Structure 1
Amino acid sequence: MKYKLFSVLTLIFLFSLTACRSDKKLENEKDIAVFWVNAYRSNCDAGAGTKNCLMVSDADQWSDTLSYTYFYNAIEGFEFKPGYFQKIKVKVIKKEANNLPADVSNLNYKLIEVIQEKQDELFQLHGNWKLSTLNEEPLDGLDDSPRLQIDLATQKVYGNNLCNAYNGSIKKLDATSFHINSIAQTRKACPEEKQDLAKNYTRALLKARKYALQEEALTLYDLNDLQVLRFIKE
Protein backbone atom coordinates (compact mmCIF):
# COMPACT_ATOMS: atom_id res chain seq x y z
CA MET A 1 0.00 0.00 0.00
CA LYS A 2 2.81 2.36 0.94
CA TYR A 3 4.63 1.44 -2.25
CA LYS A 4 1.57 2.28 -4.38
CA LEU A 5 1.13 5.59 -2.56
CA PHE A 6 4.78 6.41 -3.11
CA SER A 7 4.49 5.57 -6.80
CA VAL A 8 1.42 7.76 -7.20
CA LEU A 9 3.08 10.69 -5.43
CA THR A 10 6.18 10.25 -7.59
CA LEU A 11 4.10 10.33 -10.79
CA ILE A 12 2.28 13.44 -9.59
CA PHE A 13 5.60 15.13 -8.82
CA LEU A 14 7.08 14.23 -12.19
CA PHE A 15 3.94 15.38 -13.99
CA SER A 16 4.00 18.71 -12.12
CA LEU A 17 7.69 19.17 -12.89
CA THR A 18 7.13 18.45 -16.57
CA ALA A 19 4.15 20.80 -16.72
CA CYS A 20 6.18 23.50 -14.98
CA ARG A 21 9.01 23.13 -17.46
CA SER A 22 6.54 23.21 -20.37
CA ASP A 23 4.94 26.38 -19.01
CA LYS A 24 8.38 27.91 -18.56
CA LYS A 25 9.33 26.96 -22.14
CA LEU A 26 6.15 28.55 -23.48
CA GLU A 27 6.82 31.65 -21.41
CA ASN A 28 10.38 31.85 -22.75
CA GLU A 29 9.17 31.37 -26.33
CA LYS A 30 6.83 34.33 -25.88
CA ASP A 31 9.84 36.41 -24.86
CA ILE A 32 11.59 35.74 -28.19
CA ALA A 33 10.90 37.52 -31.49
CA VAL A 34 12.36 36.84 -34.94
CA PHE A 35 12.03 39.29 -37.83
CA TRP A 36 13.70 40.74 -40.91
CA VAL A 37 15.18 44.24 -40.72
CA ASN A 38 14.97 46.21 -43.95
CA ALA A 39 18.17 47.40 -45.64
CA TYR A 40 17.05 51.01 -45.22
CA ARG A 41 15.78 53.19 -42.43
CA SER A 42 12.87 55.55 -42.97
CA ASN A 43 11.61 58.70 -41.29
CA CYS A 44 8.70 57.99 -38.95
CA ASP A 45 6.42 59.94 -36.63
CA ALA A 46 7.66 59.39 -33.08
CA GLY A 47 4.99 61.43 -31.29
CA ALA A 48 7.20 64.30 -30.19
CA GLY A 49 8.62 64.62 -33.71
CA THR A 50 10.13 62.53 -36.48
CA LYS A 51 13.05 60.14 -36.25
CA ASN A 52 14.85 57.63 -38.42
CA CYS A 53 13.24 54.24 -37.75
CA LEU A 54 14.13 50.67 -38.54
CA MET A 55 11.62 48.84 -40.71
CA VAL A 56 10.80 45.21 -39.91
CA SER A 57 8.82 42.25 -41.21
CA ASP A 58 7.82 39.12 -39.29
CA ALA A 59 7.95 36.94 -42.42
CA ASP A 60 9.92 33.73 -42.05
CA GLN A 61 11.57 33.86 -45.48
CA TRP A 62 12.94 36.92 -47.25
CA SER A 63 11.52 38.02 -50.61
CA ASP A 64 11.63 41.27 -52.53
CA THR A 65 7.88 41.71 -51.92
CA LEU A 66 7.99 41.78 -48.12
CA SER A 67 5.86 44.40 -46.38
CA TYR A 68 7.63 46.31 -43.62
CA THR A 69 6.35 48.28 -40.64
CA TYR A 70 8.09 50.94 -38.59
CA PHE A 71 10.01 49.74 -35.52
CA TYR A 72 10.26 52.59 -33.02
CA ASN A 73 12.41 50.95 -30.33
CA ALA A 74 16.16 50.54 -30.06
CA ILE A 75 17.58 46.99 -30.07
CA GLU A 76 20.42 46.56 -27.61
CA GLY A 77 23.49 45.01 -29.26
CA PHE A 78 22.14 45.27 -32.81
CA GLU A 79 24.19 46.99 -35.52
CA PHE A 80 22.15 48.29 -38.45
CA LYS A 81 23.96 47.82 -41.77
CA PRO A 82 22.70 50.02 -44.62
CA GLY A 83 22.24 47.95 -47.76
CA TYR A 84 21.78 44.64 -45.93
CA PHE A 85 18.60 42.79 -45.02
CA GLN A 86 19.13 41.11 -41.65
CA LYS A 87 17.11 38.33 -40.05
CA ILE A 88 17.53 38.64 -36.29
CA LYS A 89 16.39 36.97 -33.09
CA VAL A 90 15.76 39.24 -30.11
CA LYS A 91 14.73 38.89 -26.49
CA VAL A 92 11.66 40.91 -25.57
CA ILE A 93 11.85 42.35 -22.05
CA LYS A 94 8.78 43.84 -20.45
CA LYS A 95 9.42 46.93 -18.33
CA GLU A 96 7.53 47.88 -15.22
CA ALA A 97 4.59 49.98 -16.33
CA ASN A 98 4.73 52.23 -13.26
CA ASN A 99 5.54 55.87 -14.05
CA LEU A 100 6.11 55.21 -17.75
CA PRO A 101 5.04 58.11 -20.00
CA ALA A 102 2.05 57.33 -22.20
CA ASP A 103 4.08 57.62 -25.42
CA VAL A 104 6.91 55.33 -24.25
CA SER A 105 6.90 51.60 -25.05
CA ASN A 106 6.85 49.19 -22.11
CA LEU A 107 9.11 46.78 -24.02
CA ASN A 108 12.88 46.59 -24.40
CA TYR A 109 14.64 44.51 -27.04
CA LYS A 110 18.02 42.80 -26.82
CA LEU A 111 19.77 41.05 -29.71
CA ILE A 112 20.29 37.30 -29.29
CA GLU A 113 21.77 36.59 -32.73
CA VAL A 114 21.85 37.65 -36.37
CA ILE A 115 20.47 34.60 -38.14
CA GLN A 116 21.02 35.68 -41.74
CA GLU A 117 22.28 38.62 -43.80
CA LYS A 118 21.43 39.39 -47.42
CA GLN A 119 22.92 42.24 -49.42
CA ASP A 120 20.47 44.40 -51.36
CA GLU A 121 21.64 44.46 -54.96
CA LEU A 122 19.80 47.74 -55.58
CA PHE A 123 21.51 49.61 -52.75
CA GLN A 124 23.80 51.57 -55.08
CA LEU A 125 20.76 53.35 -56.52
CA HIS A 126 19.76 54.72 -53.13
CA GLY A 127 20.75 58.34 -52.51
CA ASN A 128 21.34 61.63 -54.30
CA TRP A 129 22.31 62.10 -57.94
CA LYS A 130 23.32 65.15 -60.01
CA LEU A 131 22.46 65.34 -63.71
CA SER A 132 25.49 65.43 -66.03
CA THR A 133 23.99 64.53 -69.44
CA LEU A 134 20.54 65.12 -70.95
CA ASN A 135 19.61 63.24 -74.15
CA GLU A 136 23.31 62.44 -74.66
CA GLU A 137 24.29 66.14 -74.47
CA PRO A 138 26.65 67.04 -71.58
CA LEU A 139 25.56 69.92 -69.34
CA ASP A 140 28.70 71.99 -69.68
CA GLY A 141 29.05 75.54 -68.43
CA LEU A 142 26.03 75.49 -66.09
CA ASP A 143 26.19 76.84 -62.57
CA ASP A 144 23.77 74.15 -61.43
CA SER A 145 21.90 71.13 -62.76
CA PRO A 146 18.79 69.09 -61.88
CA ARG A 147 18.92 66.67 -58.96
CA LEU A 148 17.40 63.24 -58.37
CA GLN A 149 17.00 61.52 -55.01
CA ILE A 150 16.05 57.84 -55.03
CA ASP A 151 14.56 56.61 -51.77
CA LEU A 152 14.31 52.82 -51.87
CA ALA A 153 12.74 52.63 -48.40
CA THR A 154 9.63 54.51 -49.57
CA GLN A 155 9.90 53.58 -53.29
CA LYS A 156 9.77 57.26 -54.21
CA VAL A 157 11.90 59.82 -56.03
CA TYR A 158 12.46 63.45 -55.12
CA GLY A 159 14.44 66.27 -56.62
CA ASN A 160 14.60 69.64 -58.30
CA ASN A 161 14.57 70.30 -62.04
CA LEU A 162 16.09 73.81 -61.57
CA CYS A 163 12.66 75.41 -61.69
CA ASN A 164 10.54 73.29 -59.36
CA ALA A 165 10.79 70.66 -56.66
CA TYR A 166 9.21 67.36 -57.68
CA ASN A 167 8.37 63.94 -56.32
CA GLY A 168 7.06 60.72 -57.78
CA SER A 169 6.40 57.05 -57.12
CA ILE A 170 8.53 54.24 -58.49
CA LYS A 171 6.33 51.90 -60.52
CA LYS A 172 8.95 49.28 -61.34
CA LEU A 173 12.48 48.74 -60.10
CA ASP A 174 14.63 45.63 -60.43
CA ALA A 175 18.11 44.68 -61.62
CA THR A 176 17.61 46.44 -64.98
CA SER A 177 14.23 48.26 -64.93
CA PHE A 178 13.52 51.76 -63.65
CA HIS A 179 10.09 53.27 -64.24
CA ILE A 180 8.52 56.24 -62.47
CA ASN A 181 4.74 56.17 -62.37
CA SER A 182 4.08 59.92 -62.33
CA ILE A 183 5.58 63.19 -61.13
CA ALA A 184 4.05 66.01 -59.08
CA GLN A 185 5.86 69.31 -58.89
CA THR A 186 5.57 72.81 -57.54
CA ARG A 187 4.68 75.69 -59.86
CA LYS A 188 7.12 78.47 -59.13
CA ALA A 189 8.15 81.27 -61.43
CA CYS A 190 11.29 80.24 -63.30
CA PRO A 191 13.92 82.18 -65.29
CA GLU A 192 13.35 81.74 -69.00
CA GLU A 193 16.84 80.36 -69.62
CA LYS A 194 16.11 77.42 -67.27
CA GLN A 195 12.61 76.57 -68.43
CA ASP A 196 13.54 74.41 -71.44
CA LEU A 197 16.09 72.43 -69.45
CA ALA A 198 13.59 71.84 -66.64
CA LYS A 199 10.86 70.64 -69.03
CA ASN A 200 13.17 68.40 -71.05
CA TYR A 201 14.60 66.88 -67.89
CA THR A 202 11.17 66.04 -66.48
CA ARG A 203 10.03 64.53 -69.80
CA ALA A 204 13.17 62.43 -70.03
CA LEU A 205 12.75 61.19 -66.46
CA LEU A 206 9.22 59.99 -67.26
CA LYS A 207 10.49 58.23 -70.40
CA ALA A 208 13.07 56.21 -68.45
CA ARG A 209 12.45 52.44 -68.39
CA LYS A 210 15.91 50.93 -67.89
CA TYR A 211 19.13 51.80 -66.14
CA ALA A 212 22.79 50.93 -65.85
CA LEU A 213 25.25 51.58 -63.02
CA GLN A 214 28.94 52.17 -63.66
CA GLU A 215 30.98 53.08 -60.60
CA GLU A 216 29.54 56.46 -59.50
CA ALA A 217 27.40 57.02 -62.61
CA LEU A 218 23.74 56.19 -63.22
CA THR A 219 22.45 56.10 -66.81
CA LEU A 220 18.75 55.93 -67.68
CA TYR A 221 17.42 54.61 -71.00
CA ASP A 222 14.04 54.70 -72.74
CA LEU A 223 12.15 51.72 -74.22
CA ASN A 224 14.32 51.87 -77.35
CA ASP A 225 17.53 51.69 -75.29
CA LEU A 226 18.36 55.31 -76.08
CA GLN A 227 20.16 57.18 -73.34
CA VAL A 228 17.93 59.92 -71.90
CA LEU A 229 19.68 60.90 -68.65
CA ARG A 230 23.03 60.38 -66.99
CA PHE A 231 23.80 61.26 -63.36
CA ILE A 232 26.81 61.28 -61.09
CA LYS A 233 26.57 60.30 -57.40
CA GLU A 234 26.70 63.09 -54.86
Structure 2
Amino acid sequence: MTILKTMSVVILTVMLSSCSTTKKTTATYWVNSAKVDCDAGAGKTTCLQISKADNYENAEWSNFYATINGFNFEPGYLQKIEVAETQLDSKSVPADASSIQYDLIKVLEKKQDPKLAIHDIWAATHVNGKAIESTSNVPTLELNTTEMRASGTNGCNNYTGQIKNITSDTIEFGAIASTRKMCMDMAIPDSFDQAFNSISTYKKEGLTLYFYNEAGDEMLRFKKVD
Protein backbone atom coordinates (compact mmCIF):
# COMPACT_ATOMS: atom_id res chain seq x y z
CA MET A 1 0.00 0.00 0.00
CA THR A 2 2.83 2.35 0.87
CA ILE A 3 4.49 1.75 -2.51
CA LEU A 4 1.21 2.29 -4.36
CA LYS A 5 0.54 5.45 -2.40
CA THR A 6 4.01 6.75 -3.16
CA MET A 7 3.61 5.99 -6.86
CA SER A 8 0.25 7.73 -6.92
CA VAL A 9 1.78 10.86 -5.38
CA VAL A 10 4.61 10.81 -7.93
CA ILE A 11 2.21 10.39 -10.86
CA LEU A 12 -0.03 13.18 -9.57
CA THR A 13 2.97 15.48 -9.13
CA VAL A 14 4.15 14.80 -12.67
CA MET A 15 0.66 15.42 -14.04
CA LEU A 16 0.33 18.72 -12.19
CA SER A 17 3.79 19.74 -13.28
CA SER A 18 2.94 18.88 -16.87
CA CYS A 19 -0.26 20.92 -16.75
CA SER A 20 1.52 23.98 -15.38
CA THR A 21 4.37 23.83 -17.90
CA THR A 22 4.36 26.77 -20.27
CA LYS A 23 5.63 26.69 -23.82
CA LYS A 24 8.70 28.87 -24.38
CA THR A 25 10.34 29.72 -27.71
CA THR A 26 12.86 32.30 -28.90
CA ALA A 27 12.53 34.75 -31.77
CA THR A 28 14.60 37.48 -33.39
CA TYR A 29 13.08 40.88 -34.17
CA TRP A 30 14.14 44.12 -35.71
CA VAL A 31 12.59 47.02 -33.76
CA ASN A 32 11.96 50.16 -35.79
CA SER A 33 13.51 53.50 -34.80
CA ALA A 34 10.19 55.23 -34.09
CA LYS A 35 6.94 54.31 -32.40
CA VAL A 36 3.63 54.82 -34.19
CA ASP A 37 0.12 55.75 -33.09
CA CYS A 38 -2.02 52.65 -32.65
CA ASP A 39 -5.28 51.46 -31.17
CA ALA A 40 -4.59 48.98 -28.39
CA GLY A 41 -8.25 48.33 -27.59
CA ALA A 42 -8.41 50.53 -24.52
CA GLY A 43 -7.80 53.70 -26.53
CA LYS A 44 -5.12 55.39 -28.58
CA THR A 45 -1.50 54.82 -27.60
CA THR A 46 1.89 54.38 -29.26
CA CYS A 47 3.33 51.03 -30.29
CA LEU A 48 6.65 49.58 -31.27
CA GLN A 49 7.01 48.35 -34.83
CA ILE A 50 8.77 45.05 -35.37
CA SER A 51 9.85 42.84 -38.25
CA LYS A 52 11.26 39.32 -38.36
CA ALA A 53 13.11 40.01 -41.63
CA ASP A 54 16.84 39.25 -41.67
CA ASN A 55 17.62 42.71 -43.06
CA TYR A 56 15.85 45.79 -41.73
CA GLU A 57 16.01 47.43 -45.17
CA ASN A 58 13.68 44.71 -46.48
CA ALA A 59 11.44 44.87 -43.45
CA GLU A 60 7.67 45.01 -43.56
CA TRP A 61 6.86 46.57 -40.21
CA SER A 62 3.91 45.54 -38.06
CA ASN A 63 2.57 47.10 -34.88
CA PHE A 64 3.58 45.37 -31.65
CA TYR A 65 1.05 45.91 -28.87
CA ALA A 66 2.71 44.06 -25.97
CA THR A 67 5.62 44.90 -23.67
CA ILE A 68 9.06 43.34 -24.07
CA ASN A 69 10.39 43.00 -20.53
CA GLY A 70 13.93 44.32 -20.19
CA PHE A 71 13.97 46.07 -23.58
CA ASN A 72 14.99 49.74 -23.76
CA PHE A 73 13.54 51.50 -26.80
CA GLU A 74 15.76 54.29 -28.15
CA PRO A 75 14.20 56.71 -30.67
CA GLY A 76 16.29 57.02 -33.81
CA TYR A 77 17.95 53.61 -33.45
CA LEU A 78 17.14 50.32 -35.15
CA GLN A 79 17.69 47.38 -32.81
CA LYS A 80 17.93 43.68 -33.59
CA ILE A 81 16.97 41.71 -30.50
CA GLU A 82 16.55 38.13 -29.36
CA VAL A 83 13.39 37.57 -27.36
CA ALA A 84 11.96 34.73 -25.29
CA GLU A 85 8.27 34.14 -26.01
CA THR A 86 6.42 32.33 -23.21
CA GLN A 87 2.89 31.10 -23.81
CA LEU A 88 0.87 31.84 -20.66
CA ASP A 89 -2.07 29.94 -19.26
CA SER A 90 -5.06 31.63 -20.88
CA LYS A 91 -7.09 31.20 -17.68
CA SER A 92 -4.75 33.50 -15.77
CA VAL A 93 -4.47 36.21 -18.46
CA PRO A 94 -6.86 39.20 -18.44
CA ALA A 95 -9.06 39.50 -21.52
CA ASP A 96 -7.29 42.65 -22.78
CA ALA A 97 -3.75 41.36 -22.17
CA SER A 98 -1.36 39.38 -24.33
CA SER A 99 -1.35 35.61 -23.86
CA ILE A 100 2.39 35.62 -24.58
CA GLN A 101 5.04 37.03 -22.26
CA TYR A 102 7.99 38.64 -24.04
CA ASP A 103 11.39 38.87 -22.34
CA LEU A 104 14.54 40.33 -23.83
CA ILE A 105 17.42 37.84 -24.04
CA LYS A 106 19.96 40.18 -25.63
CA VAL A 107 20.46 43.01 -28.10
CA LEU A 108 22.17 41.56 -31.16
CA GLU A 109 22.70 44.77 -33.09
CA LYS A 110 21.95 48.49 -32.75
CA LYS A 111 22.46 51.19 -35.38
CA GLN A 112 21.30 54.72 -36.03
CA ASP A 113 18.47 54.76 -38.55
CA PRO A 114 19.90 56.23 -41.79
CA LYS A 115 16.55 57.55 -42.99
CA LEU A 116 16.38 60.02 -40.09
CA ALA A 117 19.18 61.98 -41.77
CA ILE A 118 16.65 63.32 -44.31
CA HIS A 119 13.86 63.92 -41.81
CA ASP A 120 13.64 67.67 -42.40
CA ILE A 121 12.27 70.52 -44.51
CA TRP A 122 13.99 71.10 -47.86
CA ALA A 123 13.85 73.85 -50.50
CA ALA A 124 14.45 72.96 -54.16
CA THR A 125 17.48 74.47 -55.90
CA HIS A 126 17.56 72.37 -59.10
CA VAL A 127 15.06 70.56 -61.31
CA ASN A 128 16.38 68.09 -63.90
CA GLY A 129 19.88 69.31 -63.16
CA LYS A 130 19.04 72.95 -63.93
CA ALA A 131 19.21 75.65 -61.25
CA ILE A 132 15.96 77.33 -60.22
CA GLU A 133 16.57 81.05 -60.80
CA SER A 134 13.29 82.30 -59.37
CA THR A 135 13.38 83.31 -55.71
CA SER A 136 9.59 83.30 -55.29
CA ASN A 137 7.32 80.26 -55.06
CA VAL A 138 10.25 77.86 -54.69
CA PRO A 139 9.19 74.20 -54.46
CA THR A 140 9.62 72.62 -51.04
CA LEU A 141 9.61 69.14 -49.57
CA GLU A 142 9.01 68.16 -45.96
CA LEU A 143 9.99 64.58 -45.18
CA ASN A 144 8.61 63.09 -41.98
CA THR A 145 10.32 59.71 -41.88
CA THR A 146 8.94 58.79 -38.46
CA GLU A 147 5.36 59.05 -39.74
CA MET A 148 6.39 58.09 -43.31
CA ARG A 149 4.76 61.17 -44.84
CA ALA A 150 5.83 63.78 -47.40
CA SER A 151 4.37 67.21 -48.08
CA GLY A 152 5.25 70.57 -49.57
CA THR A 153 4.58 72.79 -52.56
CA ASN A 154 5.59 72.47 -56.20
CA GLY A 155 5.82 76.25 -56.45
CA CYS A 156 2.10 76.63 -57.09
CA ASN A 157 0.11 73.78 -55.54
CA ASN A 158 0.43 72.13 -52.15
CA TYR A 159 0.82 68.34 -52.04
CA THR A 160 0.84 65.61 -49.42
CA GLY A 161 1.20 61.84 -49.43
CA GLN A 162 2.82 58.76 -47.99
CA ILE A 163 6.34 57.41 -48.13
CA LYS A 164 5.73 53.75 -48.99
CA ASN A 165 9.26 52.54 -48.42
CA ILE A 166 12.66 54.00 -47.66
CA THR A 167 16.14 52.53 -47.18
CA SER A 168 19.56 54.12 -46.81
CA ASP A 169 19.55 55.10 -50.52
CA THR A 170 16.16 54.27 -52.08
CA ILE A 171 12.77 55.87 -51.59
CA GLU A 172 9.28 55.11 -52.89
CA PHE A 173 6.36 57.48 -52.54
CA GLY A 174 2.72 56.44 -52.44
CA ALA A 175 -0.21 58.31 -53.96
CA ILE A 176 0.22 62.07 -53.75
CA ALA A 177 -2.77 64.39 -53.30
CA SER A 178 -2.45 67.95 -54.57
CA THR A 179 -4.42 71.16 -54.89
CA ARG A 180 -5.29 72.11 -58.49
CA LYS A 181 -4.99 75.87 -58.86
CA MET A 182 -3.36 77.49 -61.90
CA CYS A 183 -0.57 80.01 -61.44
CA MET A 184 0.81 82.63 -63.85
CA ASP A 185 3.90 80.55 -64.62
CA MET A 186 3.51 76.76 -64.44
CA ALA A 187 6.90 75.85 -65.94
CA ILE A 188 8.62 75.08 -62.63
CA PRO A 189 5.58 73.42 -60.96
CA ASP A 190 5.01 71.16 -63.97
CA SER A 191 8.67 70.16 -64.32
CA PHE A 192 8.89 69.62 -60.56
CA ASP A 193 5.88 67.26 -60.62
CA GLN A 194 7.32 65.24 -63.50
CA ALA A 195 10.69 64.98 -61.80
CA PHE A 196 9.16 64.08 -58.44
CA ASN A 197 7.14 61.25 -59.99
CA SER A 198 10.32 59.63 -61.37
CA ILE A 199 12.29 59.58 -58.10
CA SER A 200 13.88 56.24 -57.25
CA THR A 201 17.03 56.85 -55.19
CA TYR A 202 18.52 59.63 -53.08
CA LYS A 203 21.77 60.85 -51.59
CA LYS A 204 22.46 63.36 -48.84
CA GLU A 205 25.72 65.30 -48.75
CA GLY A 206 25.99 67.82 -45.95
CA LEU A 207 22.97 70.11 -46.19
CA THR A 208 22.14 69.06 -49.77
CA LEU A 209 19.70 66.31 -50.75
CA TYR A 210 19.77 64.78 -54.24
CA PHE A 211 17.09 62.63 -55.89
CA TYR A 212 17.68 60.40 -58.93
CA ASN A 213 15.59 58.32 -61.32
CA GLU A 214 16.17 54.62 -62.01
CA ALA A 215 18.74 55.47 -64.68
CA GLY A 216 20.78 57.48 -62.17
CA ASP A 217 19.92 60.91 -63.63
CA GLU A 218 19.59 63.75 -61.14
CA MET A 219 15.95 64.82 -61.02
CA LEU A 220 15.74 67.14 -58.02
CA ARG A 221 18.17 68.84 -55.68
CA PHE A 222 17.29 70.49 -52.38
CA LYS A 223 18.99 72.41 -49.63
CA LYS A 224 18.06 72.18 -45.97
CA VAL A 225 15.77 74.93 -44.74
CA ASP A 226 17.15 76.68 -41.64
Q: TM-score range by the shorter chain?
A: 0.5 to 0.7
Q: Deviations over 1:74-123 (max 9, x none)?
A: 666543222313436478896767xxxxxxx4459785444433436543
CA contact 2:139–2:189 (8 Å) conserved in 1? no
Distance in 2, Cα, partners of 1:118 & 1:182: 32
Q: Deviations over 1:160-197 (max 9, x none)?
A: 3343332345566444433446533122x36535x433
Aligned residue pair count: 217
Distance in 1, Cα, partners of 2:55 & 2:219: 34
Structure 2 equivalent of residue 117 of structure 1: 109
Q: Does 1:9 align with 2:2?
A: no
Task: Give matches, 1:38-49, under 5 Å.
Answer: 38-45=32-39
Structure 2 equivalent of residue 22 of structure 1: 18
Structure 1 equivalent of residue 152 of structure 2: 159
Deviation of residue 220 (structure 1)?
0.8
Q: Does 1:130 align with 2:104?
A: no
CA contact 1:37–1:88 (8 Å) conserved in 2? no
Alignment equivalent of 2:61, drawn from 68, 73, 78: 68
Structure 2 equivalent of residue 177 of structure 1: 170
Distance in 2, Cα, partners of 1:86 & 1:20: 37
TM-score (ref. length: structure 2): 0.66
User: What code does the residue aligned with 2:212 have?
Assistant: Y
Alignment equivalent of 1:54, drawn from 48, 51, 55: 48
Structure 1 equivalent of residue 142 of structure 2: 148
Deviation of residue 219 (structure 1)?
0.8
Structure 2 equivalent of residue 205 of structure 1: 196
Describe the shift of the 1:231–1:35 C-alpha distance in structure 2 as closer, same or farther (beyond 3 A). same
CA contact 2:30–2:79 (8 Å) conserved in 1? yes
Deviation of residue 134 (structure 1)?
1.6
User: In percent, how many aligned pairs have the same letter?
Assistant: 21
Distance in 1, Cα, partners of 2:122 & 2:179: 19
Q: Deviations over 1:190-224 (max 9, x none)?
A: 6535x433322222111222222223432112344
Q: Which runs of 5+ in 2 are unaligned?
A: none
Task: Give matches, 1:212-231, under 5 Å.
Answer: 212-231=203-222
TM-score (ref. length: structure 1): 0.65
